[in-house]
Structures are given as C-alpha cells and as structure tokens.
Structure 1
Amino acid sequence: MTDLDARRLRDAYDAQIRPEIPDPLPAGVTVDSDGPLTRVLGLDQRGFITYRTLDGLAGPALDALIARQVEFFRARGEGAEWKLNGHDEPADLGDRLRAAGFVPEEQETVVVGPVAALAAAVPVLPEGVRLREVTAMADLERVAAMEEAVWNSDRSHLVTGLAREIEADPQSITVVVAEAGDEAISAGWVRYQRGTGFATLWGGSTLPQWRRRGVYRALVAYRARLAEQRGKALVQVDCSPESRPILERLGLVAVTTTTPYVYTP
C-alpha cells in the first residue's frame, strides 16, 4: 500500500463518512448546524460535534466558533465531544480547543480498507465460544455490563443508544455478541453507512481473560461478511493501539488519527 493509496482511502473517508450523522435519526435525536459544524444532540450521554472541513476558518473567527459551542452546551447543562482528526486544519485546532476548555481524551487511529480482505479471514474461535446477532434489550444490557467490567465505568448509555438505532432502522446496524456459555465475553456492532460504500465497526471490548485467543478477530471477520453481503466495499474503524496491529494484518491502512475533545459544563 503506497502513500497515494492511503491518501485515496483518507479522501474516501472524508467524503463519505464525514460529517458523522446518524441516518436515519433515532427517536429523540436532533441535528443542527453552526457554520461548518454539525451538532448531533440526544444520541449519547453528551452532544457530538462533527464536520467535514472547517472551510478555512482560523484565528479569531475559529475561536469565536469554538466559544459558541461552549456557550451552547453550557446553556444546556450538557457535555459535548468535538471529534478532531489528525489531518484537520488549521494545525493549531487542538490548542484552540484546549484553550476554550475542551479536554483531549485518548487518541485512536482511523484505519480504512477493503471489506473483502476482512470477510475472507477465517479465524478460529476458542472452544465453547459462539457469535450471535442480538436486538433484545436484555442482550444489550449484557453488552453494557461486559463493557463496564472491561472499562470500570458506566456504559448504560450503550443500551439506550443501540436500542434506539435498532428501532429506527434494524437494517442500518447489527450488534454481535461473543458468548461463552451464558456469559458475554466480547461484543461489537457494524453500521452500514447509507448512500456510501462504507461500513463502520464499533465496540470490540473483550474481557481480559479472553484476549489474545482470536475472539476479536472473529468478531471483525463476522461483521465484515455482513457488510459484504450488503454490498459495502470499504470498512472503517477508529481503533485502539491494541487492535490496530490486528486490523493492519487483516489489510486495513492507517489514514489519520482521531481524538475526542470533551467539554464538560
């Protein structure tokens, strides 16, 4: 994969994935805009700020745009996440967000690649482990409980968020759980981006005692096959340092980074 190929994949990501707006909108979710920014409200435990480009804004004009977001969410008494990609301009955008009160969280890598390579992988699950597609509220609660065990933090927002997406359009998302007996040991979901050639993969958290045993690889391959069945050609993942080597071995390419900048009133 050449630098030019990686640039083409990044261009496809910018053109087709960004701004990241749910389609269709789940019940209770609203979208509005402020200049080049799109604000998604009511989807998660905090608002989400997304965009494709800032249209060349810089200096005082950019500071004013950021300040309006702080005031908007402060008035609502609500937190907000500004998703900053590593190739976003201007180069000092992160510094300006920090100066306005946004706090950067852990950086991830955006990887993109052909669905076919992932779908062709045939990982072997550990004995006694199976993958199952789920939609029931009880299963979503088990997913959240597993995530809470992994991250030692509240994940209850996943239950309501995923449930509303499924209710809005069951064909737009598939949640897959890896189970050992009655225990959920890992889970991930795939979103089929309407009107694009992309599917996006999310989740993938795995209980510590089940890591490095092929569970994550199996979840990736299973969801890639689902995407291929729906005619998607490319897959995109915001991945952690732990999952990046696995995804790159399966043919995905790092195209940029992504960092959540979070404002808390």
Structure 2
Amino acid sequence: MHHRFLEAYDAQLRTTPETVHASSVSVQGPLHLAVFGGTQGFVTYADLGGADADAIGDLVDEAVAHFQRMPAVTSVEWKTRAHDVAPGLHDALIARGFIPEDAESIMIGEAELLAQHVDVPDGVDIRRATTEDEVISAGRMQGRIFDDAEWRRRVDEVIERMHADESVEFWIAVADGAVVSAGRLEPVAGTEFAGLWGGATDPAWRGRGIYRALTAQRANAAIRRGVRYLQSDSTEFSRPILERSGLIRVSSTTPYVWAPA
C-alpha cells in the first residue's frame, strides 16, 4: 500500500498540479519555477532525471538566476522530497543561501477509510464555512497558533480561490460562537486526489477528537466529489492524528527557503 500511494503521489500530484494557482510558471529542464501572488517563488519537479551532483548544482544556479531577474519576488521555496534521487542537492542549496525549514510528513490515505464517525463534545458544531467572515475567523485562529504574521494575506488568497473554484472547501468546528478548529479540502483537478490543508485546533480544545472529526467530514465531502485519495503534508504534531484517522506516512518533504539579497 505504501508503494502504491507513493507511486500515485509522484504520478499525479507533482509539477503542474502544484502550480495550478501560480501567477506565472517557467519550465527549465526538469524544474518548474513558479511565482505565487507575484512575490513568492516556488521550485518543484517530478524528478531530476538522474542528474549527478554537478548537474544538480547547475540546476540550482539556473533557478536562482531566474528569480534574481524578478525583482518583485521576495522569497523562494525549493520543495524537496526524501525519496527523490538527488545527489548533492542539500549541499548545493545550502551553498547558495537556501535555509532548510522543518521537515513535514507526506501523508496519504483512502478517503473511504477516513470517512468514519467521530464523537465530538456537546456544543461543538462541525460544518463547511459559508461566509468570508467565517473563513477570516478561522484564518485568524490558525495564524495565532502557527505564529504567522502573514495569515491575513494567506486567507485572502484562499477566499479568492474559493470564489474561483467551488470545489475548494473550508471546514470549521465552532464552539461558543468561536472557531476552535479548521482545515481546507482542495480536490486536485484531473487526479484521484484531494489535499487536506491548513489543519489547526485551538490548544484549549485539543485532545477531544475535534480535528479527527473535522478530517472525517472532509473525507465525506471528498467522496461526494469522487475523490479516492486524501493527501496532506503534516507537522509532527498533526501526523499522529492523521495516522489515527487512517493516513499513512509515505515520505517526507523539506522546504528550503532563499531570499534575494
């Protein structure tokens, strides 16, 4: 099952599906160089074509040069995967000023296995957000938990995507009139996948099954849309919760971030 999931991930979710919301995309050899929101650069690829360390160093140089020609870009993320064959990539990125951030687990599971009943505390209502105010309230909670000073910009981008694509769903858990847990469901067009993104629960409400129930509701919504697999890049905090829900860790991904001088 692990290998089947990983093969489906590599075949269906890399390159074009990752950059579908980008404002621009340039293809240089195996690299897809994207810009989101006009300021955030992003580097991804299906594989590096068997390149050796010297050739990989050249690819990094080409990517840096590409974004240096774009003065509006303020940071660039190079998305690596632990299962890729990429000799010397870490050293090449570090040597050129990229800084690795925390690794995240690539989690995949069958949507049908995640669509299970989970009890939640009395007074907690789990539902799809239907107004911009609900999405903003959820984003504010997520920004506080992740210490994200850019939370409002990210929420505005999500709202824009929701207006453009009705398949993007934002789910929330509400208690006493406040959003206490939230997460998105984003089906990937042309694939068997949907992504589970932005999952967060207020610390005061953790350990009560709320996030597992939120995941189950998103799984049900995915099944209604004909989705087979659910995928998430998860932190070490959320990974055990997703494992209890039925997702399997198939690999890991580490973002390397570079800011132009």
TM-score, shorter chain, exceeding 0.5? yes
Per-residue CA deviations over 1:44-94 (Å, capped at 9, x if unaligned) read 862221111111222222212111222232333420111111011224322
Matched, 1:198 2:190: no
Q: Aligned to 1:9, which of 5, 10, 18?
A: 5
Contact (CA 8 Å) 2:52, 2:87: kept in 1 or not? no
Q: After TM superposition, give the deviation of residue 224 of structure 1 in Å.
A: 0.4
Per-residue CA deviations over 1:226-249 (Å, capped at 9, x if unaligned) read 111111111111111122222222
Q: Distance in 1 between matches of 2:16 and 2:130?
A: 23
Q: After TM superposition, give the deviation of residue 139 of structure 1 in Å.
A: 2.3
Q: Which amino acid aligns with 2:32?
A: T
Q: After TM superposition, give the deviation of residue 194 of structure 1 in Å.
A: 0.9
Q: Distance in 2 between matches of 1:168 and 1:129?
A: 30
Closer, same or farther in 2 for the Cα pair 1:83/1:194, shift >3 Å? same
* Aligned residue in 2 for 1:253: 248
* Aligned residue in 2 for 1:62: 56
Q: Which moved more, 1:62-71 or 1:17-26?
A: 17-26
Q: Which amino acid aligns with 1:6?
A: H
- Identity of counterpart residues, as a percentage? 37
Matched, 1:37 2:45: no
Contact (CA 8 Å) 1:21, 1:40: kept in 2 or not? no
Closer, same or farther in 2 for the Cα pair 1:57/1:15, shift >3 Å? same
Q: Which moved more, 1:6-15 or 1:43-52?
A: 43-52
Q: Distance in 1 between matches of 2:205 and 2:175?
A: 10
Contact (CA 8 Å) 1:114, 1:235: kept in 2 or not? yes
Q: After TM superposition, give the deviation of residue 123 of structure 1 in Å.
A: 1.0
Q: Which amino acid aligns with 2:4?
A: R
TM-score (norm 2): 0.91
Matched, 1:21 2:44: no
Matched, 1:156 2:152: yes
* Aligned residue in 2 for 1:109: 105
Q: Distance in 2 between matches of 1:23 and 1:100?
A: 24
TM-score (norm 1): 0.90
Q: Distance in 2 between matches of 1:202 and 1:20?
A: 18
Aligned to 2:48, what secondary structure does the other structure show?
coil
Q: Distance in 2 between matches of 1:205 and 1:252?
A: 17
Contact (CA 8 Å) 1:185, 1:210: kept in 2 or not? yes
Matched, 1:71 2:84: no
Q: Distance in 2 between matches of 1:46 and 1:24?
A: 14
Contact (CA 8 Å) 1:44, 1:157: kept in 2 or not? no
Q: After TM superposition, give the deviation of residue 252 of structure 1 in Å.
A: 1.7
Q: Distance in 2 between matches of 1:116 and 1:99?
A: 45
Q: Which amino acid aligns with 1:167?
A: H
Contact (CA 8 Å) 1:23, 1:194: kept in 2 or not? no
Structure 1's unaligned 5+ residue stretches are none
Question: What is the aligned length?
Answer: 257
Q: After TM superposition, give the deviation of residue 135 of structure 1 in Å.
A: 4.7
Closer, same or farther in 2 for the Cα pair 1:212/1:197, shift >3 Å? same
Per-residue CA deviations over 1:7-53 (Å, capped at 9, x if unaligned) read 12101100011125358647xx2222121111221248622211111
Q: After TM superposition, give the deviation of residue 213 of structure 1 in Å.
A: 1.0
* Aligned residue in 1 for 2:44: 50
Q: Distance in 1 between matches of 2:121 and 2:65?
A: 51
* Aligned residue in 1 for 2:91: 95
Q: Distance in 1 between matches of 2:158 and 2:130?
A: 9
Contact (CA 8 Å) 2:173, 2:179: kept in 1 or not? yes
Matched, 1:210 2:189: no
